[in-house]
Amino acid sequence: MQTAIEIAEVDHQLIVRLNQAWTKRATVCSPDKGQINEVFDPVRPDYPECMVPFFHHPAFQALSEALKSSVVTWGWIGYNLRTVTAEEHVVNPALSVIANQYLGKDDWHFREAMQQTLIDEHYHTLMHLRAIERTRLDRALDQDLDLPPSVTYLRLKALRETLPEQWQRDLAAITFAVVAEISVNAYLDLLADDQTIQPQNRRVAELHNRDEYAHSKVLAEVAKVMYANMPPVQREFFARNLSVALSAFIAQDYSMWEAILTQLGVEEAALIIADTRESNKNATIMRDYSGLHKLAHDLGISELIDFDFRPTLKATAVA
């Protein structure tokens, strides 16, 4: 059986090619820096209605068109806010730790890849902040809603609070970042390909998605090098907490939608959420875990992963 080190060496040229292509493929390196110039269309929803989990619920459909539109718009804003949180509080700190602590001096091309990825991710934060501000202006929103962070972020935060050692807290964040970067494309694909929503919103997802296709390849290879550099105790911790992260990313989470309905004054908010939670109790979040399934196999840790990959390899259900 190949070791993680041998696999990483085999894939070294993939990282070299991705690094060399960065100035041509990355959104932040494009001549217009990914500026969104699509015209606002007030008739189109800001977020795919098919991704609003209760859109067809009778109580929701009974609402006025204006109120339904507001719920969908705040769904788009909430998505962007959660993306910013994921970038700034999960992915970016974890990638910095990988680059500075888990890659050796002989891993230059992998460190270069991490720095390029960090630049991309910081620019994604700006893209999504701009998307929020643009939506607020286009929709003339003068209201602020208090939207909760995702259950995924809260699970990572709770996990880190239980860990006594800094390396454990760092590595827990790294497992969540690895899962995020290697599995996010399935969700972004749905947004980027949806022709019913605001063209400018679809464009944001399209640009972000284009970068993430490269990031998923980078993180898969970097994870192999990082794992090879770990002592046994850290390898065991990584494998065990990869299972925790995998489960966290497919957890059903209606907290944002419940907050939106409640704060916009939907009287039957509790009923709508309760019915939706019951009808979707066996649904799976939009994640493609095929890349992570392959990574676990390549690292030789499949038997250590307490997670059923089968329903998540091409999941398309909504939460």
- Domain ranges within the chain, ordered by starting residue: 4-20+54-312
Residue 36 region, left (φ>0) first, then alpha (ψ -120 to 50), else beta? beta
114: tokens are 């991490």
Q: 222 and 5 in contact (C-beta within 8 Å)?
A: no
In sequence order, what are the residues at sequence separation of 6 or more whose Cβ sits closer than 8 angstroms to the Cβ of residue 209? Answer: 185, 188, 189, 191, 192
Report the half-sphere exposure of 148 (CA within 13 A, side-chain side). 17
pLDDT digits (tens, 9 = 90+) for 158-212: 999 999 999 999 999 999 999 999 998 888 999 999 999 999 999 999 999 999 9
pLDDT at 136 over 60: yes
Cα 228 from Cα 71, distance rounded (Å) = 47
Please report where in the chains the tokens 């907290």 appear, as a residue.
255
Span 213-241, average pLDDT: 94
CB 150 within 8 A of CB 90: no
- H-run or E-run covering 272: helix 269-279
**Can you say whether the dihedral through the CA atoms of 93, 97, 100, 103 is positive or negative?**
negative
Residue pointed to by tokens 């550099």: 229
Residue type, 116: Q
Q: CA 77 to CA 83: how far, in whole Å?
A: 10
Q: Average pLDDT for residues 108-131, to the nearest whole number?
A: 96
Q: What is the DSSP string of 110-121?
A: HHHHHHHHHHHH
d(Cα 282, Cα 284) in Å, to the nearest integer? Answer: 7
Identify the architecture of domain 4-20+54-312 in CATH: Orthogonal Bundle (1.10)
- The tens digit of pLDDT for each residue in 18-77 reads 999 999 999 999 998 888 888 999 999 999 999 999 999 999 999 999 999 999 999 999
Residue 1's pLDDT band (cuts 50, 70, 90): very low
pLDDT of residue 53: 94
- Nearest residue to 39 via CA among 166, 199, 177: 199
Contact criterion met (CB below 8 Å) for 170 and 97 = yes
pLDDT tens profile 299-318: 999 888 888 877 654 443 34
Supply the pLDDT for residue 219: 96
Q: What is the pLDDT of residue 2?
A: 45
Q: From CA 47, how far away is CA 197, in angstroms rounded?
A: 6
Average pLDDT of the residues of the chain: 90
12 pLDDT band (50/70/90 cuts)? confident
